[in-house]
Amino acid sequence: MTMEAYRYEDGSISYPGHPRGPGGTEPVETIDLSEYTAEVVTWTTSTATPPGVREPNTLVIVEFDVDGRQSDSEGGSGDETVRAIGQATTDDLETGDTVRPVHVEELREPGAGIREPDSQEWDGYRFEPV
Amino acid sequence: MERVAIIGGSMTQFGQREDWIVDLLSEAGLACLEDAGVEASALDHLYVSNMASGEFEGQTGVMNALAHDIDAMPAYTQRIDQTSSSGGAGIYAAWQSIASGASEMTMLVGGEKMTHRTTGESTDVIASLTHPAEYKHGVTLPSFAGLTARHYLERFDAPRESLAKVAVKNHKNGVDNPHAQFQKEVDLETVLESPIVADPLRLYDFCPITDGSAALLFCPESVAREYTDEYAVIAGIDGATDTHVVHEREDPTVMGGVVESGEGAYEMSGYGPDDIDVAELHDMFTILEFLQMEGLGFAEQGKAWKLVEEGYTDRDGELPINTSGGLKSKGHPLGASGVAQGVEIYEQLVDEAGPRQVEADVGLCCNVGGFGNCVITTIMEAGQ
């Protein structure tokens, strides 16, 4: 399982990836964000959650400095950042905290909400303070 | 291109209603025709702004059902869904229909029936607009508001109370709107001590779940004069789209769709932020009022909260915002909300706003879909 971001021809990175990036550029490589740590940009704990979602549900927006903060296995150049949103493993958080992705088999119960269960994946990564 | 006039407006009682979607649409549509003194048979086009009647009620084809119920056949009908900005998108479509010459009389009716669903179910229907990468985490529109509010308060050193003051102001305005879901004031302490929904935001930072409908009637300005001397004209209108994935935006406190659609509407109308006398902003969450004030140029980035604190946006302030009570107090029946914003500005410009009346020649409404994903900004002026 990977947390796959796309890098585009212009050097920008997005998570999730899209068929076209900024300026209509095509993706040229994928980056596994699960190998990186990230910084908390903001967070909230939602107490009114939809069917099939844990309650309370702490969510964070985090920022990965992919090229400046190197992964265990790869070098990097430049200073491209990419943001992601996801559940947090705790509500004991502050803006600026460092977190790492932790894989979870099922982030919410498929089929409990309105979306067709087979239309998307339900596993993914929560963010855990380092 | 002939200028597009609005010659009638109506809205049903917003709140918890026993009626279902088509009944609500019919109620607002018939009231709008009566307000303008126009027969349904005069309609060339009939548009329905609605986000999710199929998901909420299992009723699709609402535009056809409305046309039949109010005897508007054979008018061309179309349902317009742009999530929470369906109403604004309907105004844009109605404007296009008249400005292009395709129609000489277009009625727009927006509506939604929601309250028969639980809060969780309604929240999920709305959250279905999110990207799969967001949806699987249980991301909801209120959680986007909590994430953005924390970022805004921390980044701009704004006091938490400033958000609560948006709720206090809009509830105060809603007292004088007989169609509003909540016609009662709330004080600062009540807002700040209400249950947490998505911290730092609390219950009173959020609009309610609502049933309701609203309608507007459009025609060329030359035709408007055949019916009335009191009408409004769409001076400028534009729509814009921002990212589907909210966290991909460069600056979480800037809604690109608000900025772009606002600039487009200003350019078309020849007006600027300083010319606006009254505005209806999409205060689905209190933080959104700040972001739209800044995106539309009413305040510098990070400083809208100061204007709210100073009373600048009060009904008797320099720029009254959400004289209707806003979504916060009036309620937010998704597809109706953008139309109801237009009704409020129309009534302000033709001096029919009753106790909410302010002195206004030019008004603006900004209708936001998703969390700024799709936005329509409309500028109206009083007809001459």
Is pLDDT at A72 greater than 60 in this prediction? Answer: no
At residue B283, the pLDDT reads 98
**What CA–CA distance (Å, rounded) separates A17 from B270?**
39
Q: Do A124 and B136 touch (CB under 8 A)?
A: yes
Site from B114, B123, B137 to mutate, A interface, most A CB atoms within 10 angstroms: B137
Confirm whether A84 is domain-assigned. yes
Do B141 and B43 share a structural domain? no
**Is A20 at the interface with chain B, CB within 8 A?**
no
Confirm whether A22 is domain-assigned. no
**If you measure CA to CA, which chain A residue comes closest to B197?**
A47
Is pLDDT at A78 greater than 70 in this prediction? Answer: no
At residue B271, the pLDDT reads 98
Looking up tokens 């309907």 gives B90
Q: In DSSP terms, which residues pair with B4 in a beta bridge?
A: B220
Q: How many domains is chain B built from? A: 2
Q: Do B198 and A121 touch (CB under 8 A)?
A: no
- 0.95 exceeded by pTM: yes
Do B199 and B217 share a structural domain? no
- Residues of chain B with Cβ-Cβ distance to A14 below 8 Å are 245, 248
How far from the centroid of its chain's Cα atoms is residue A102's Cα? 10
Helix (H, G, I), strand (E, B) or coil at A44: strand
B363-375 pLDDT per residue, tens: 999 999 999 999 9
Sheet strands (E) in chain A: 4-8, 13-14, 27-32, 38-46, 57-65, 81-87, 98-104, 124-129
Do B112 and B152 share a structural domain? no
At residue B30, the pLDDT reads 98
Structure tokens at A23: 């300026």
Do B332 and B193 share a structural domain? yes
Do B377 and B355 share a structural domain? yes
At residue B222, the pLDDT reads 96
Q: Please, which residues have CB within 8 angstroms of residue B234's CB and are 6 or more apart in sequence? A: B3, B4, B5, B6, B91, B95, B218, B378, B379, B380
- Residues of chain A with Cβ-Cβ distance to B127 below 8 Å are 50, 113
Helix B86-99 to helix B334-349 angle, to the nearest 10 degrees? 60
At residue B354, the pLDDT reads 97
- Residue A49 distance to chain B (closest CA, Å): 6
At residue A73, the pLDDT reads 45
Of A42, A53, A113, the CB nearest to B151: A42
At residue B2, the pLDDT reads 87
**A residues 34..63 contacting B (CB < 8 A):** 41-54, 57, 59-61
Q: Do A95 and B140 touch (CB under 8 A)?
A: no
Of B119, B124, B143, the CB nearest to A46: B143
Pairwise pLDDT comparison (A69 vs B41), residue with the higher score: B41
Q: How many domains is chain A built from? A: 1
Domain of B74, CATH number, reads 3.40.47.10
Confirm whether B124 is domain-assigned. no
Structure tokens at B12: 């049903």
- Residue A16 distance to chain B (closest CA, Å): 7
**If you measure CA to CA, which chain A residue comes closest to B195?**
A47
Of A48, A108, A115, the CB nearest to B123: A48
Residue A114 sits in which domain range? 34-129
- Residues of chain B with Cβ-Cβ distance to A121 below 8 Å are 132, 136
B318-344 pLDDT per residue, tens: 999 999 999 999 999 999 999 999 999
Q: Do B137 and A124 touch (CB under 8 A)?
A: yes
Nearest Cα to Cα of residue B343 among B181, B254, B213: B213
Percent share of chain B, pLDDT over 70: 100
Confidence of residue A75 (pLDDT cuts 50, 70, 90): very low
**What CA–CA distance (Å, rounded) separates A54 from B232?**
49
Q: Is B263 exposed, middle or buried (0-12, 13-18, 19+ CB in 10 A)?
A: middle
Nearest Cα to Cα of residue A3 among A12, A13, A16: A16
Q: What is the mean pLDDT of residues B167-176?
A: 98
Q: Do B131 and A83 touch (CB under 8 A)?
A: no
**What CA–CA distance (Å, rounded) separates B355 from B377?**
25
Confirm whether B149 is domain-assigned. yes
Residue B37 sits in which domain range? 4-117+210-232
- Residue B364 distance to chain A (closest CA, Å): 31
Is pLDDT at B109 greater than 90 in this prediction? Answer: yes
B55-84 pLDDT per residue, tens: 999 999 999 999 999 999 999 999 999 999
Do B139 and B71 share a structural domain? no
C-beta separation of B152 from B287 below 8 A: yes
Q: Is A29 exposed, middle or buried (0-12, 13-18, 19+ CB in 10 A)?
A: exposed
Nearest Cα to Cα of residue B56 among B115, B132, B140: B115
- Residues of chain A with Cβ-Cβ distance to B124 below 8 Å are 50-51, 113-114
- Residue A95 distance to chain B (closest CA, Å): 9
Q: Do B140 and A45 touch (CB under 8 A)?
A: no
Do B140 and B11 share a structural domain? no
**Is B156 at the interface with chain A, CB within 8 A?**
no
A92-109 pLDDT per residue, tens: 999 999 999 999 999 999
Confirm whether A26 is domain-assigned. no
- Residue B90 distance to chain A (closest CA, Å): 26
Structure tokens at B133: 């990468």
Confirm whether B166 is domain-assigned. yes
Of B139, B248, B252, the CB nearest to A59: B139
Do B282 and B244 share a structural domain? yes
For B51, how many CA atoms within 13 A lie in the half-sphere containing its CB?
A: 31
Q: What is the mean pLDDT of residues B302-317?
A: 98
Do B186 and B76 share a structural domain? no
Confirm whether A20 is domain-assigned. no
At residue B311, the pLDDT reads 98
**What CA–CA distance (Å, rounded) separates A71 from A86?**
20
Q: What is the mean pLDDT of residues B127-133?
A: 97
Buried b (16+ CB within 10 A) or exposed e, B125-161: bbbbbbbebbbbbbbbbbbbbbbbbbbbbebbebebe
Is pLDDT at B19 greater than 90 in this prediction? Answer: yes
Do B188 and B64 share a structural domain? no
Helix (H, G, I), strand (E, B) or coil at A112: coil
Confirm whether A114 is domain-assigned. yes
A13-67 pLDDT per residue, tens: 999 999 999 999 999 999 999 999 999 999 999 998 999 999 999 999 999 998 8
- Residue A77 distance to chain B (closest CA, Å): 21
Is pLDDT at A111 greater than 90 in this prediction? Answer: yes
Confirm whether A13 is domain-assigned. no
Q: Is B321 exposed, middle or buried (0-12, 13-18, 19+ CB in 10 A)?
A: buried
Query: Where is the domain boundary, B166, B198, B232?
Result: B232
Structure tokens at B376: 């329509």
C-beta separation of A113 from B125 below 8 A: no
